[in-house]
Structure 1
Amino acid sequence: MTWPSNKLPRGKAVFKNRLLKSWCELKNIQELSFVNNNFEGTLPSCLGNLTSLRWLSLGGNRFTGNIASYTLWRRLTSLEYLDISFNRFEVPVSFNQFVNHSKLIYLSVGYNTLTTNTEFKNWIPNFQLKFFAIEGCVNLQRLPSFLHYQHDLRILAIEYNQLPGNFPTWLLENNTRLAGLYARDNAFTGPLKLPSSRHLYLEQLDVSNNKLSGHVPANMSSAFPKLISLNMSLNLFEGPIPSDIGGFHLRGLVLSHNFLSGGVPSDLAIGSPSLTFLRLSNNKLTGQIFSKDVRPSLLFYLFLNGNSFEGPLPSNIFLKPLIALDASSNNFSGEIPQGIGDNTKLLQLDLSKNHLEGSIPVEICNLKLIQVLALTENKLSGPVPSCVSGLPLEHIHLDKNQLVGELDALLNISSLKTLDLGYNSFTGNIPCTIGSLSNLNFLLLNNNQLQGEIPTQICLLNKLSIMDVSFNKLYGPLLSCLGNLIQAENDAETGSSYFHTTTRLAWSDFLSWISSARNYHISYDVRTDFSVMDVETRIQFTTKRNTFTYKGSILKYMKGIDLSSNILTGEIPIELGNLSKIHALNLSHNHFVGRIPDTFSNLHEIESLDLSYNSLSGRIPVGLLELYRLAIFSVAYNNLSGAVPPFEAQFSTFDKSSYEGNPLLCGVPLDNERSSTKSSNTSPKVEGHTFQLMPRTR
């Protein structure tokens, strides 16, 4: 019997406890699941009456209490499957409350609190588990002793525990039929020692994010001949990649974030004909990538970023099966090869942060499936091929190159979510077709030579969260409809989340371990470095005096508009006060006149507000005192007059540099009753993309 997950309202503790107790009347029930509901408190003791129970899943609730204090376990000796993970239980590390559960083969206790107790000396459990998961537990300092007596495990998950000491090779030696060992995010140190004899069943091994050191073992393929995926990333491994690290069955290999050196051995491709996923990112690799005549036939995902490869881009990394290629942050030089057009299955291409030059080849338009194009920080020149307007691109990063031309083609791609063209030499107007980009979250056109008025169609971008058109030659009045932007949540990719529970469907035949084991394999690929795509949007935006790179959940949170360093004129529309969710607004270095709108007191989320270097007049609205999140504020070099806002709340943190250049302003923190600083509206623009604020002292 399964209660539907996520259906019970929170805060109905009495009702839910009564509901739990109602199940106690079903004396002959064999399967019971309350997974992913909002149950809380202690388990009713009457559950011990369900002596025929074989399957009990309590995962994903807020149950409490010490497992050892529940007497119901003494009566539930028919249990074969027990999942208490993702709760608030206290679980004794001895697990001796299950001493008589001879039928138990599946036990998941992760994401609870482990407590120490006196373990039975020489306690040999009556059960032989096939599945044991003890992930993400608080206070787990060592593996439970009963594991020394387990010899039939098929899946073992001990990840996210920060366990110290050497890697427990004995687990592999004791369980010769183990198919998956997941030990990431612990604190294991020293070399990775392999078992003394061949392990014929291991398919997945993950030891990532530990402190393992030394060389990668040279005989990995012979030690684990059935290995399908191997993740050794985020460790301290050094030396070359062993030529025999692969194997006939190997499909996924992740060695990123280590200190590996040398080239990529050809034998890795030759000896691993099934290899589809290879991540070698962030090492010290140099030299050859395979050999020129070696082209892995099934490699779909290749990540070489963050190494020291140099010279022209090798032709054998542009493989026809490729879905994702990341060769960013290396020292590749020369032109992008025209043969890139043969990679017709590519969804993601990242060649950023190299020394590539020449034009973007028109053959790139043959990539009819491409979604991500990142060529940031190279020396590319010339126009962007107009045919890109026919591609299904979602993320374009071409910033920090020497590209020229107009934007018509690039602003005619309706699927776009990110368009970053900053720091180039694009010219012409912002075309009216920009209004068709209804999915656009991030628009960065800063530091170009764009001119003309901002088109009213830009106000149709109701998903926009960051807009930066600073350091151009845009002129004309500021659109009042901009006050309607920055309201909706953006839908940028910020990484995937994972919550593991094994469903009854996945465990369709309880007596066969293989269903849930395979399900765990598949689920594990989703939540680790074997992701199908490696897309993470990164945006550089200037706020609080500095240029920050936003990504992940922070990027989803960040909202800002930068129109600084243009030739915009007229009054600041009062409608900009509707930007209640904005965090940064920069209108500095323009020619705005009139008053600071009183409606700016509605910018409750704002952290950085820069109105400096304009021709604004009148008083500073005292309502700005209500902006409690404000960390950076400048109205310097305008024609403002009267008293500055009272020196309280956030405004007590702003020094005189926030107000200088306004001779008719007075009050704390200005030195004198009236500022003697001469007004200036012609201060030269400063190179680079930063707020024009003087340093503050505290």
Structure 2
Amino acid sequence: MATTHLLSLFVFIVLTSVVSSQQLSTSERTTLLNLKQWWGSPPSLTNWNSNSSPCSWPEVQCRNGSVIGLQLQTKELTGSMPPFISDLRNLESMFLHDNFLTRDFPRVLYNCSKLIELDISQNMFVGRLPDDIDRLSRLKSVELGANNFTGNIPPAIGNISALTSLLLYQNLFNGTIPPEIGNLSNLETLGLAYNEFASPEIPPEFGNLNNLKILWMSQTNLIGKIPESLSNLVNLELLDLSLNNLEGEIPSRLFLLKNLDSVFLYKNRLSGRIPSVMESLNLTQIDISMNKLNGSIPDDFGKLQKLEVFNLYSNRFSGQIPTSISQIPSLRIFKVFRNNLTGELPPEFGIHSKLESFEVSENNLTGKLPENLCAGGTLSGVIAFSNDLTGEMPRSLESCDRLYTIQLYDNNFTGEIPSGIWTLLNISSLRLTGNSFSGELPSKIAWNLSRLEISDNKFSGRIPSGISSWVKLNVFKASNNLFSGEIPPEFTSLSELTVLYLDGNSLSGEFPSEIKSWNSLTILNLARNKLSGQIPPSIGSLQDLLELDLSENQFSGQIPPQLSNLKLTSLNLSSNKLTGKIPSAFDNMAYQNSFFNNPNLCSTSPISNLQTCLTKSSNSKNFAPKIIAMITILSAFVAIVAVLFTMFVFRDYLKKKRKRNPTTWKMTSFHKLDFTESNILSCMTEANVIGSGGSGKVYRIGVGQPRGYVAVKRIWNNNKLDQTLEDEFSSEVQILGSIRHSNIVKLLCCLSSHNSKLLVYEYMVHQSLDKWLHQKKRRPETGSAPLLTLDWPRRLQIAIGAAQGLCYMHHDCSPPIVHRDVKSSNILLDSEFKATIADFGLAKILAKQEPGDANMSSIVGSLGYFAPEYAYTTRINERIDVYSFGVVLLELVTGKEANEGEGDLNLAEWAWKRYGEGQSLVGALDPEIKDPDTYMEEMSGVLNLGLVCTSTLPSSRPSMRDVLEILRRCNPLDELPEEMKEGREEFDVAPLLKRESYITHYDATSKNVPDDIHV
């Protein structure tokens, strides 16, 4: 009987608890539904309804039937914090980051007495933090970064004793840093970076933060010295004091910290010496670059046996590089360039560790390069220019397949280049100017070599006819060597060549009469050789040519009138044997220094040192029959070679086709196809390669009418693919294959085998936007169409099209898609210049995640297009795409590249600097834009929009929907769709520009390293 009574009592208690929890859930459901309505009923909360329990909603966490957590990050919430949110009495955690919430700090949260975690970062909150913020006494983690808070940080924050994480980065704080923060004995993370405090010193009280692991205070306007008290931070793992005005010596006890994992002190104005006592450190990264530190590099650095990254570049260090550093077993990155270092390089570099980057340029180093730099097989760059190094290039580099740049110019190297260097698998840049290297040019070089600079050496011999295989060569500088013989006609078939310097050699014979494919050439310098014969009229077909120097040769005959077709900024035909009348296009004072020492030239204008033409030269037509005969013979020869070449390629194609096993390939189609897998596989030859990237090559393959061509990207070449990676790839391809939008390139199908993946896209005739803006490849591939340029209406059309594609990805896809690598080279143009977004190799599908899961383990993307916050938080959201698209807008207006600003500034930094200095728009415009006065208002609007999109504060950037709306308003021919008019407030960039002008976006005095110089 007693047992029965106890069982009845237990059942009664359980039923009472269930009824009570159901009533509580019903009450809190009403509060949550009111929250949804208050914040604009975003589409992402459609599952919040009155027919289900809040505890079943993905954004809500419950315990015992009560709401304890809200995860509402990146939900496009608008408005302020409502007063009734305090009805959630048991709320412990609230994540609201990356939304559009406004107004002052939400004091209503004071009533949420159990709140432990609060993240309202990357919103648009304004005003000062309340002086009584310590009423949130149970907080352990608070993140208020990337908002618009101003004034002082209240001293009361030092009373929240439970705090373990305090992140106030990237606001508008312009007051003081309270020393009371030093009272937070449990604090592990302190982030005050990217604020403009009123010239503060680091409070000595920070030395009391015994549990601190991360101290992040970059660009906080710090002055004075690093306090000695920071040596008490025995648990510190990361110290970032970059971008400040600190001075003096680094405290002698600072490097006694027990568990320090990384130090970032770069881009300061520090001075003094580095201490030598570092025995007890567990450092993995040292970056104290871009300061004014001096003295020698302490030998004790070699005791840091876990050190991976060693960055001391752009300082004033002197003396020798300690041998002990070369013996560190974990060392990967070694950068000490731009100092005053002397002595020889330690020969053990590369023996004890797998070096990836080795940069010692711009010092006074002597001796030889270490022989075993690439012993680990991971070296990607050797950069040692501007030293006094001697000896030969190490032969061990021949086996370094990951090496993509060797820069040894301005040294005293001798001997021949090891033969394997020329054909390294990934080498793209070989810069050896200003040494005493010798030997002859090879017939074959690496497929990807695009930059070869060997001027001012002792190279000799003939230019090989096999130079026609150097298909990727873009820059070739070989001035002042000992080359001899004729220039082979095959040289003129290099279609990607833009810069050619062969001046100061002993080349002889006639210049090839027919130029095959130099359509991209901008500079041609053949001065100071022994070339003879007539100047070929075919040079006049090089529409992109800007500089032509044929001086100090033995050219004879008349100047071809076809040269008048060129828009030359520099012309030098002096010291030849030219005769006759100067073409009228050059018969003016602008070219008065272009024809010296040609006694038989005459001019109709008063050009100095030239006789005046009295009568038309009677000899002007004497050579016409000879020229015609030469052209006829050469054309016949070229036709015969073309036929033989075609037969060879076709035979090779048949052999490869027979060897293929079609059963090893699996095709997955996403559209109705008018070709088969055999059409694709049979044409995967080098002759069809049109580009390459980090994941493989891109081919243009003909598939017949009506489609014509497709683009095929080969993204993997691995014998063993991890099954997880295989599944992730298949899932992402399926998602991207389902996208249907006219401004996103179509993924037609995917072909898979055991060791390759082929993605087949629709082919864009005009290829990528960057080629039109920066590489001046403006002639379509469809024959001899008229020369086209990107005028302003076409540029605006491209901007609108690209914005439409990104807007679809961000706002119409579920889940949203963040591209993560938006840049001009990933915007493709069809025959009508309609823009399409391409290359989703870096795309991140935003699915439901726990807090913090949206972070990426590594930063991907392209330099010059990075959003600032991406570099230090790696948090993935749509605003990183908005920043990158803003850089593209600046490219369209200015014609500059993303990393091309002024001095060491990139494009975004340069544009903001101009804006801050009040400079006019006219000076920033791309000179290629015709009739700029007609479109000045539109260009000004797009430039301002580009500035706002590249704001350092993510919350200040517009959404892609707003960007698209503004661009359409800039275009008088484009009607705004009704759905974008309804319920949308007009977005005005002016207030944001005004607001942004009060903060420092970029440090104009910083010495950033150009991409083309350092790895």
What's 2:825 paired with? none
Question: Which one is further off, 344-353 or 97-106?
Answer: 97-106
1:228 maps to which of 213, 237, 240: 237
Query: How far off is 1:180 after superposition?
Result: 4.2
1:423 maps to which of 424, 430, 434: 434
Query: How far off is 1:210 after superposition?
Result: 4.3
Output the CA distance in 1 between the equivalents of 2:188 and 2:346: 46
Which structure has the larger Rg over C-alpha atoms? 2
| Aligned-partner residue type, residue 392 of structure 2 | P
SS of aligned partner of 2:215: strand
Output the CA distance in 2 between the equivalents of 1:665 and 1:158: 74
Is the alpha carbon distance of 1:323 and 1:667 closer, same or farther for their aligned partners in structure 2, counting shifts above 3 Å? farther
Mapped pair 1:407 → 2:417: yes
User: What's the Cα RMSD here?
Assistant: 4.6
What's 1:248 paired with? 258
What's 1:683 paired with? none
SS of aligned partner of 2:46: helix
Mapped pair 1:80 → 2:94: yes
Is the alpha carbon distance of 1:80 and 1:661 closer, same or farther for their aligned partners in structure 2, counting shifts above 3 Å? farther
| Aligned-partner residue type, residue 239 of structure 1 | G
2:225 maps to which of 215, 218, 228: 215
TM-score (norm 2): 0.47
| Aligned-partner residue type, residue 323 of structure 2 | S
Query: How far off is 1:425 after superposition?
Result: 0.8
Equivalences for residues 370-381 of structure 1 within 5 A: 370-381=379-390
Output the CA distance in 1 between the equivalents of 2:47 and 2:387: 70
CA contact (8 A) 2:390 2:412 kept: yes
Output the CA distance in 1 between the equivalents of 2:589 and 2:106: 56
- Structure number with higher relative contact order (C-alpha < 8 Å, ≥ 6 residues apart): 1
Is the alpha carbon distance of 1:173 and 1:586 closer, same or farther for their aligned partners in structure 2, counting shifts above 3 Å? farther
What's 2:46 paired with? 24
Q: Deviations over 1:671-697 (max 9, x none)?
A: 699579xxxxxxxxxxxxxxxxxxxxx
What's 1:199 paired with? 209
Output the CA distance in 2 between the equivalents of 1:596 and 1:324: 50
Name stretches of at least 5 consecutive residues in structure 2 with no aligned partner. Answer: 1-39, 61-66, 614-1015
Is the alpha carbon distance of 1:633 and 1:197 closer, same or farther for their aligned partners in structure 2, counting shifts above 3 Å? same
Q: Deviations over 1:652-673 (max 9, x none)?
A: 9945334555563646794699
Is the alpha carbon distance of 1:209 and 1:197 closer, same or farther for their aligned partners in structure 2, counting shifts above 3 Å? closer
What's 1:506 paired with? none
* Structure that is richer in helix per residue: 2
Q: Deviations over 1:633-664 (max 9, x none)?
A: 544555375454648xxx99945334555563
2:534 maps to which of 587, 594, 613: 594
CA contact (8 A) 1:199 1:225 kept: no
Output the CA distance in 2 between the equivalents of 1:576 and 1:672: 32
Q: Deviations over 1:260-312 (max 9, x none)?
A: 44443232x2232x112112334444445335696222222222333444444
Output the CA distance in 2 between the equivalents of 1:391 and 1:75: 63
What's 1:473 paired with? 482
Equivalences for residues 175-186 of structure 1 within 5 A: 176-184=186-194, 186=196
Mapped pair 1:398 → 2:408: yes
CA contact (8 A) 1:178 1:201 kept: yes
What's 1:107 paired with? 119
Is the alpha carbon distance of 1:123 and 1:476 closer, same or farther for their aligned partners in structure 2, counting shifts above 3 Å? same
TM-score (norm 1): 0.65
Query: How far off is 1:443 after superposition?
Result: 1.5
What's 1:452 paired with? 461
Equivalences for residues 507-546 of structure 1 within 5 A: none
| Aligned-partner residue type, residue 336 of structure 1 | L
2:73 maps to which of 32, 54, 57: 57
Query: How far off is 1:251 after superposition?
Result: 1.0
1:297 maps to which of 282, 301, 305: 305
| Aligned-partner residue type, residue 499 of structure 2 | G
Query: How far off is 1:161 after superposition?
Result: 5.2
Alignment: residue pair count: 549
Name stretches of at least 5 consecutive residues in structure 1 with no aligned partner. Answer: 1-17, 34-50, 489-558, 677-698
CA contact (8 A) 1:221 1:227 kept: no
CA contact (8 A) 1:304 1:327 kept: yes
Is the alpha carbon distance of 1:99 and 1:586 closer, same or farther for their aligned partners in structure 2, counting shifts above 3 Å? farther
What's 2:79 paired with? 68
| Aligned-partner residue type, residue 183 of structure 1 | A
Query: How far off is 1:183 after superposition?
Result: 0.2
| Aligned-partner residue type, residue 242 of structure 1 | P
Question: Which one is further off, 559-568 or 24-33?
Answer: 24-33
Equivalences for residues 652-671 of structure 1 within 5 A: 654-658=590-594, 660-661=596-597, 664=601, 666=603, 670=607
SS of aligned partner of 2:202: coil
Q: Deviations over 1:320-362 (max 9, x none)?
A: 3222223333343333343336434222223323333334454
CA contact (8 A) 2:515 2:538 kept: no
Query: How far off is 1:468 after superposition?
Result: 1.5
Output the CA distance in 2 between the equivalents of 1:315 and 1:241: 23
SS of aligned partner of 2:72: strand
Question: Which one is further off, 68-77 or 606-615?
Answer: 68-77
| Aligned-partner residue type, residue 79 of structure 2 | A
1:279 maps to which of 274, 278, 287: 287
Equivalences for residues 316-331 of structure 1 within 5 A: 316-321=324-329, 322-331=331-340
| Aligned-partner residue type, residue 561 of structure 1 | L
CA contact (8 A) 1:295 1:319 kept: no
Equivalences for residues 617-628 of structure 1 within 5 A: 618-619=558-559, 627=567
| Aligned-partner residue type, residue 449 of structure 2 | L
What's 2:499 paired with? 560
Output the CA distance in 1 between the equivalents of 2:121 and 2:301: 50
Is the alpha carbon distance of 1:463 and 1:444 closer, same or farther for their aligned partners in structure 2, counting shifts above 3 Å? same
| Aligned-partner residue type, residue 465 of structure 1 | N
CA contact (8 A) 1:577 1:603 kept: no
| Aligned-partner residue type, residue 254 of structure 1 | F
Is the alpha carbon distance of 1:330 and 1:462 closer, same or farther for their aligned partners in structure 2, counting shifts above 3 Å? same
2:342 maps to which of 333, 337, 344: 333
CA contact (8 A) 1:662 1:675 kept: no
Query: How far off is 1:440 after superposition?
Result: 2.2
Output the CA distance in 2 between the equivalents of 1:620 and 1:150: 84
What's 1:354 paired with? 363
Output the CA distance in 2 between the equivalents of 1:343 and 1:292: 17
CA contact (8 A) 1:30 1:52 kept: no
CA contact (8 A) 1:477 1:569 kept: yes
SS of aligned partner of 1:343: coil
SS of aligned partner of 1:54: strand
Output the CA distance in 1 between the equivalents of 2:452 and 2:70: 56
| Aligned-partner residue type, residue 313 of structure 2 | N
Output the CA distance in 1 between the equivalents of 2:418 and 2:102: 62
Equivalences for residues 11-50 of structure 1 within 5 A: 21=43, 24=46, 26-27=48-49, 30-31=57-58
The percent of aligned pairs where both chains have the same amino acid is: 24
| Aligned-partner residue type, residue 424 of structure 2 | I
CA contact (8 A) 1:31 1:53 kept: no
